[in-house]
Amino acid sequence: MISRGSAGESEAGGHGRASAGAVPGGRLAVLDGVRVLAALGVLFYHYFALESAWGKAPADIFPTAHPFAVYGWLGVEIFFLVSGFVICMSAWGRTVGDFAVSRVSRLFPAYWAAVAFTALVLYSWSEVRQVKAFSDVLVNLSMLQTGLGVPNIDDAYWTLFVELKFYVLFAIVVMRGLTYRNCVLFCAAWTLAGVVAPTADNGVLSFFAVSSSSPYFIAGIGFYLMRRFGPNAIVWAIVGVQFLLAQHYVHTRMITNLGRAATERTPAWPAHLVIVLGFALMAAIALGALDGVRWRWLPHAGALTYPLYLIHMMAGLTFIHHFRRDVAPVPLVIGVTSAMLLLAWLIHRLVERPLGRLLRDRLRRGVQDIRSATPRGPSVGRLPAQPSAPDAERIPAGR
């Protein structure tokens, strides 16, 4: 459900069309459709464009599909675009504690299952990737491995650390109060950081600026402001600037994903076009043009995209590599994809939903304890004061 924060509504009268663009209740099923397209694009790229699974050039195996598959990595950019929209939408009217609880309970259950599954596969068949140390698996469970210099168990996990940076920065906005003005200021500040960071000799700035990814998150926030408050010059300017920055980084992202030599042989215009289509689709969602898309299967399919993204890459490439001599390429890809979808569904139903619910309830209790705590800690279960320490109340908390 889309909540309407009172702070946001109190500002509506002074910005654009205000309440005319207020978000209607209900789930935006079309966003699930965008997630599905993005997830399948990434899977398509990994299975049809990476040589590590096949042992020879995929272009020779899939001469028709490969020219399209090389652009599937853009699904990650679309994920970031949707993330900016959804995080701003879901955080509206919440406290920073509620925001943290929702993110942790949403991200970690499926992620823990995916790390365990991928590690098991890589330990069993060390054909595409080896796990060098069991401690790497343990650190990966924290989702902080990139910051600690520990290898990702699955290369796809790099995006999660980028998402975490976004959550940390956006939590500051939530803490100050999620309003139209604060969101606009945040978009402006993060844009400035992203522009300055590449030429600034500042590690902290570069760490949080994530210049090649931030335009998508910021544009997503702009699109949500457009949907909630109506389009106006400010939000269009936010989205427009991010669109230009996203286009600017296309060449850099192609080199990152394809390598410099392959990038020089690959036309860039389809990548630019995909970004145009992604922004156009989000604009249509922001303006309500796709509110009529309410196919019942979309939310169910959308729920599988996160666990599918987490498990499909290294485990899927390992299965392809292991069976590539016994099964023809097309049936093998279909079979591995079907197996990944089935496993994603099992993780969603048996792990993500029940464990997420349990984790959310426990974390909420912890947040409530913090809110209701005295300077010396929660009232529940607190030891009685010692009669021999009359000055105990003057001892600083946490000593």
User: Which segments within the chain are labelled E, that is strand?
Assistant: none
Percent with pLDDT over 90 in the chain: 79
Alpha-carbon distance values, 169 to 97, 260, 282 (Å): 14, 32, 22
pLDDT for residue 47: 97
In this predicted structure, the answer to whether residue 300 has a pLDDT above a threshold of 70 is yes
In this predicted structure, the answer to whether residue 263 has a pLDDT above a threshold of 90 is yes
The mean pLDDT of 314-320, rounded to a whole number, is 97
The mean pLDDT of 360-386, rounded to a whole number, is 68
- Please choose, from the candidates 217, 221, 193, the residue with its C-alpha nearest in 3D space to the C-alpha of residue 207: 193
Token pair, residue 334, equals 């279909």
Alpha-carbon distance values, 263 to 40, 158, 254, 257, 270 (Å): 22, 21, 6, 9, 12
pLDDT for residue 377: 55
Report how far apart the first and last C-alpha atoms of the chain are (Å, whole number): 42
- Cα–Cα–Cα angle for 172, 15, 209, rounded to 5 degrees: 30
pLDDT mean across residues, the chain = 88
The mean pLDDT of 214-226, rounded to a whole number, is 98
Q: What confidence tens digit (pLDDT) does each residue in 83-108 have?
A: 999 999 999 999 999 999 999 999 99
- Please choose, from the candidates 7, 12, 14, 21, the residue with its C-alpha nearest in 3D space to the C-alpha of residue 175: 7
Weakest mean pLDDT among 197-201, 252-256, 270-274: 197-201
DSSP 218-238: HHHHHHHHHHHH---HHHHHH
The mean pLDDT of 180-197, rounded to a whole number, is 96
DSSP conformation class of 17: T
In this predicted structure, the answer to whether residue 355 has a pLDDT above a threshold of 50 is yes
pLDDT for residue 373: 63
In this predicted structure, the answer to whether residue 227 has a pLDDT above a threshold of 90 is yes
Query: Looking at the chain, how many residues does it have?
Result: 399
Q: What confidence tens digit (pLDDT) does each residue in 10-62 have?
A: 333 333 443 333 334 457 899 999 999 999 999 999 999 999 899 899 999 99
Task: Read off the pTM.
Answer: 0.86
More confident residue, 2 or 269: 269
**Amino acid at site 250:** V
The mean pLDDT of 237-248, rounded to a whole number, is 98
CA distance 150 to 364: 31
In this predicted structure, the answer to whether residue 257 has a pLDDT above a threshold of 90 is yes
CA distance 317 to 155: 11
> Contact, 293 vs 29, CB < 8 A?
yes
Token pair, residue 106, equals 């949403």
The mean pLDDT of 61-82, rounded to a whole number, is 96
Half-sphere exposure of residue 57, counting CA atoms within 13 Å on the CB side? 7
In the chain, % helix, strand, coil (3-state, to 5) comes to 70, 0, 30
**Left if phi > 0, otherwise alpha if psi is -120 to 50, otherwise beta: which for 25?**
beta
What are the two backbone dihedrals, phi and then psi, of residue 121, each rounded to the nearest 5 degrees? -65, -45
With cut-offs at 50, 70 and 90, classify the pLDDT of residue 230. very high
DSSP conformation class of 374: B
Which residues neighbour 192 within 8 Å (Cβ) at sequence distance 6 or greater? none
More confident residue, 363 or 396: 363
Percent with pLDDT over 70 in the chain: 86
The mean pLDDT of 67-92, rounded to a whole number, is 96
Place of tokens 């992620």: 111
